[in-house]
Amino acid sequence: MGFFDFGTIFFLVAAVVIFYQLRNVLGRRTGHERPPFDPYTAGRARDKDAQAGKASDNVVALPRRKPGEDVADETYAAIDAAAKPGTDLNKGMRAIRDADPSFDPKTFVDGAKMAYEMIVLAYADGDRKTLKNLLSREVFDGFVAAITEREAKSEKIQSSFVGIDRAEIVGAEMKGGEAHVTLRIVSELISATRNKAGEVIDGDPETVAEVKDVWTFARDTRSRDPNWKLVATEEEE
């Protein structure tokens, strides 16, 4: 009987000690405890927050281009602006652009207009040196022959360049490694040819005349020389 009482008291004391220790370790419930962690619920909450964050961002997603598409567009943009895509003229200029990355239709036309004025005035003045730098060998020989004949007759050309009304590319192609570009040029000139006595034998020194020419320029795209030269001339009717 005494053993039973002692054992009962011992276990009661041990239970009380254990209870207080657990209480100190785990603490008391106050009503503000966090809910138990649920990994599935937490994952869904993170997804919901991410979607809400994306919806609130002031970001507009732009359509992505295919690899190389933007580069191709930029490469031929100037050419497509000068000639309708799919036409022979557009294809010809694209071929030149492939062979010569520096080729640009607008820049070319601007340069050709300057060359046109220089050539017209150099021919009138008999300036062989200037012509040699701007003409192919065949065209230069033809111009020089005409100048020489004129000088032999003591004839002179009185010429004033008024300006260029229109200049447009009408042809383009690659011939081997050589690029050829043809322009139609409409200009205004005052021109008159006088004989040895000073009499006007051609043209009119007082009248502005409209001149229509079709000129072809070329350059070897394999050469480091960036200059184009006049290789063919034709007067449009």
Question: pLDDT tens for residues 77-99?
Answer: 999 999 999 999 999 999 999 99
Two tokens at 161?
A: 């360049």
Give the distance from CA 186 to its chain's centroid. Answer: 28
Whether the CB-CB separation of 144 and 131 falls below 8 Å is answered with: yes
30 pLDDT more than 70: no
Could you identify the residue written with the tokens 């065209």?
Answer: 139
pLDDT the model gives residue 55: 46
pLDDT of residue 68 exceeding 90 = no
In angstroms, rounded to a whole number, what is the distance separating the alpha carbons of residues 86 and 89? 8
All domains in the chain, ordered by first residue: 2-28+36-56 (no CATH), 69-235 (3.10.450.240)
* Residues sharing a CB contact under 8 Å with residue 126, sequence separation 6 or more, in sequence order: 147, 150, 151
Smallest CA-to-CA distance from 177 within 95, 69, 67 is with 95
* Chain centroid offset of residue 125 CA: 39
Which residues make Cβ contacts (< 8 Å) with residue 188, sequence separation at least 6? 162, 163, 164, 165, 208, 209, 210, 211
- pTM for the predicted model, two decimal places: 0.69
pLDDT > 70? residue 46:
no
What are the backbone dihedrals phi and psi of residue 168, each rounded to the nearest 5 degrees, phi first? -140, 145
- What pLDDT was estimated at residue 231? 98
Higher pLDDT, 88 or 25: 88
pLDDT per position as a tens digit, 169-185: 999 999 999 999 999 99
- Percent of the chain topping pLDDT 70: 69
